[in-house]
Structure 1
Amino acid sequence: MNKYLILFFLIVSLKTAHQAFGQCLDQSTAYQAGEELWYDVKYNWGMIWVDAGEVMFAVEDAKWEGYDAHWFKGYGRSMPKWDWVYKVRDTFDAIGTQKQLKPLFFHRNTKEGSYKVNNKYWFDTDKKNIKAEVYNSGEEETIQKNVPFDDCIWDVLSAIYYARNLDFSDFKKDQKIPFNLIVNGKVYNLFVRYLGKEKLEMPDETVYKTIKFSALLVEGTIFDGGEDMTVWVSDDKNKIPIKVQAKIQVGWVKAFLKSTKGLKYGDITPLNP
C-alpha cells in the first residue's frame, strides 16, 4: 500500500453507498501545461517526525487520438536513506482532454516494498466503457476486462486536477461533493466533504488562506477507514494543494508543498510575506 503518493488521491471507503453520482466539468481552468508541484512527505514515528519521501506532479501538452490533451504526471519516492526500511518508487501517468478533463488514458506503475501494481485504462466516453489491464502483486497474471460506467468518471490522478477545478463557493460547510473513481479496475461512487476556509500555518511559519476539505479512507492494511484525510488547497484560482495529512494505523503522514513552477495564475501569495 502506498504511504506517500496515495495521500493526494481522493480515496474513499469501500463501504460508501453505491449511488449514481458524477459531476462533469464545463471548462478546466485551474492549471496549464508547464506546471510543476513538489512536496515533502513526513511520517510520524512515535514522537518523532521524519522526512520520509517526496512527491512531484507535472502537466504537459499532448495529443491523443486526435484530441488536444494534457499529460498529467505523478511521481512519488521514499528518501534513499529510508529505502532499506520501505522502498517506494511510484509513477502515474494520465491523459485527459484540455477543455473538460475527460480521461483518455491512465497508467499506474508502482513498487512499494515487495508490493507491485501495473494498471492501464483506456477510456471510451462515447461508448461509456473502460478497457482495463490490471495487475497486482499476488495475482498470477494480468487481468483484462471491460468496465462500463454511467456518468463522468476519473482515475486517481485526473481526480486531483478535477478537484482543483471545483468552485467551492457553491457549497455549504460540511456538504459532500460526489464523484466517480476507478481503482484497481473497479468503479466507486465517492465524495469529499467541504470544511470551509482556514488560515494555514506551514512549518516555516508562512501563513496561507486555504480551502479545507476531507475525504474518507479505504479500510485496509494502512488505513482504518473513516474520514481521516484532510486537504488544504490555496484559496485562489490555482487551488494548489498546500498540505495533506492522513491518519494511518501506525501514526500520521503529512505532505507539505515545497515548490511550484509555471502556475497559471502566478505564485501563491502568503498572508505574511
Structure 2
Amino acid sequence: MLSRLCTFASLMYQLFSSVMPNFVGRDSRFTQLSSIVFLTAFLVAASFAGEPNLPEVNAPWMKGERLTFSLGWGFITAGTATLEVKPIAGGKTELLTHATGNKTINRIYPVNDTVYTRVRNKGLMTEVFRKRLHEGSFHNTSVIRFDRKGEKAWLSDTVFTDMKTRKTKRSADTAVTIQGEEHSIMSAFYLVRTLPLKVGETSRFSAVSGKKRYELKVIVHGREKIESIFGEVPCIKVEPVLDGDGIFVSKGRIFIWLTDDERRIPVLMECEIALGSIKAKLLEAK
C-alpha cells in the first residue's frame, strides 16, 4: 500500500508506491497518488508547439515550502513523505520529494525514494525531472530532460542489480515528441495548486511520464471541510484521471483535498483500493 501512497503527491510520485510495496505491488495506487498530485497540475497545458511564453507563477509557496505527510492504510502507518519547494537563481525553482518507510517497514523492506524537479518560474515548465528509487533490492534511476524548442522529452531509465558496484540490470533511452507545454509529474502537482478550481468543471492537459505522453484531466468534485493540523478547514476535492492506457487506468480512484485559499495546501490525499483506502495525511507545514 505504501507503494500506492507514495506515488501521488509530488503529489506524490513515489510517496505511496515505495513504502508499502509488499501489500500493494509496485504499480499500485500509491504510485498513482504521487503521479496524481503531480499530474494533476497539467491542467493548463495549451496546445501550441515550440518554446512556450507563459506568465510567472507567484503563488505563496513559491517563496519556499516544506510539507510532511504520514503514509498509511487503516491503522497502519507505513512511513513518511516530504514535499519541498526551494527557490534558486535565474528565475527557477527546485521541487523535491522524499519518501521512506518507518523503522519497522525498513527492517523488512528498506525504502528510500527521492524525486527532484527543476522548473522555470514562468508556467512552472520542467527543465529536468529526476527519480531515484531504492526499494528492497530494487534500485532505479530515471531522468527526463525537456527540450521545448526541439519539441522532445529525452528519457533515460536504468535499473541496477547492485548499487555499490553500479552493476546494471537494464537500461533504456527514449525520446518522446512534445508540443511545448507538457509537464512532469512534480510540476503538474504544483501547477494545479495555482488554478481557480471551479466546482463541476474538468480541466484537460498533457503530461510526460515514463516513456509516454499522456492526456490528463482533473475533475473538481466540490467543497468539503476536512480535519487537519490547521483544525477543520474548507477544502476543494479534486480527482486526477488519466485517459487511455496510462498508469491511472483501472487502478482505483484517487482524491486530493486542497485548502480553499490561495495556498492550496494538500491536507489529505486518498487512493481507493479493494480493502479500504490508502491515505497521505499532512503532519507539518513550514
Match of 1:141 in 2: 170
Match of 2:135 in 1: 112
What is the distance in 2 between the residues matched to 1:136 and 1:194?
37
Match of 1:167 among 181, 196, 202: 196
- 1:195-241: CA deviation from partner (whole Å, max 9, x where unpaired): 11111124x79211101111237999x98825511110011101010
Q: CA deviation at 1:242?
A: 0.5
Match of 2:204 in 1: 178
Decide whether the 8 Å contact of 1:198 with 1:210 is kept in 2: yes
The 5 Å alignment of 1:2-41 reads: 2-8=3-9, 9=11, 11=32, 23=45, 26-30=55-59, 31-41=61-71
Match of 1:69 among 92, 103, 110: 92
What is the distance in 1 between the residues matched to 2:55 and 2:230?
37
Normalising to structure 2: TM-score of the pair? 0.75
What is the distance in 1 between the residues matched to 2:206 and 2:253?
20
**What CA RMSD, in Å, does the superposition of the two structures yield over aligned residues?**
3.0
Match of 1:131 in 2: 154
The 5 Å alignment of 1:83-98 reads: 83-98=106-121
What is the distance in 1 between the residues matched to 2:144 and 2:159?
14
Cα 1:156–1:246, aligned 2, differ >3 Å: closer, same or farther?
same
Decide whether the 8 Å contact of 2:6 with 2:71 is kept in 1: no
Match of 2:254 among 192, 210, 229: 229
- 1:148-186: CA deviation from partner (whole Å, max 9, x where unpaired): 112411111111111111111xx341x322122222121
Give the percent of matched residue pairs that are identical in Structure 1 and Structure 2. Answer: 21
Decide whether the 8 Å contact of 1:217 with 1:226 is kept in 2: no
Report the structure, 1 or 2, having the larger helix content: 2
Q: In structure 1, list runs of 5 or more residues that go unmatched.
A: 14-20, 262-273
Cα 1:50–1:217, aligned 2, differ >3 Å: closer, same or farther?
farther
Q: CA deviation at 1:137?
A: 6.9
Q: CA deviation at 1:112?
A: 2.4
Match of 1:42 in 2: 72
Cα 1:141–1:218, aligned 2, differ >3 Å: closer, same or farther?
farther
What is the distance in 1 between the residues matched to 2:137 and 2:242?
23
What is the distance in 1 between the residues matched to 2:241 and 2:108?
28
Match of 2:181 in 1: 152
Decide whether the 8 Å contact of 1:223 with 1:247 is kept in 2: no
What is the distance in 2 between the residues matched to 1:26 and 1:50?
43
Match of 2:20 in 1: none
Decide whether the 8 Å contact of 1:232 with 1:242 is kept in 2: yes
Moved more, 158-167 or 128-137: 128-137
Match of 1:192 among 196, 218, 221: 218
- 1:59-96: CA deviation from partner (whole Å, max 9, x where unpaired): 11224xxx421011110111112223433211000000
What is the distance in 2 between the residues matched to 1:4 and 1:85?
18
Decide whether the 8 Å contact of 1:4 with 1:53 is kept in 2: no
What is the distance in 2 between the residues matched to 1:120 and 1:7?
18
- 1:128-152: CA deviation from partner (whole Å, max 9, x where unpaired): 1112112357984221122111241
Q: Aligned to 1:2, what secondary structure does the other structure show? A: helix
Q: Aligned to 2:7, what secondary structure does the other structure show? A: helix
Match of 1:239 in 2: 264
Number of residues paired by the alignment? 242
Pair 1:100-2:129 in alignment: no
Give the counterpart letter for 2:250 in structure 1: G
Give the counterpart letter for 1:241 in structure 2: P
Decide whether the 8 Å contact of 1:55 with 1:75 is kept in 2: yes
Normalising to structure 1: TM-score of the pair? 0.78
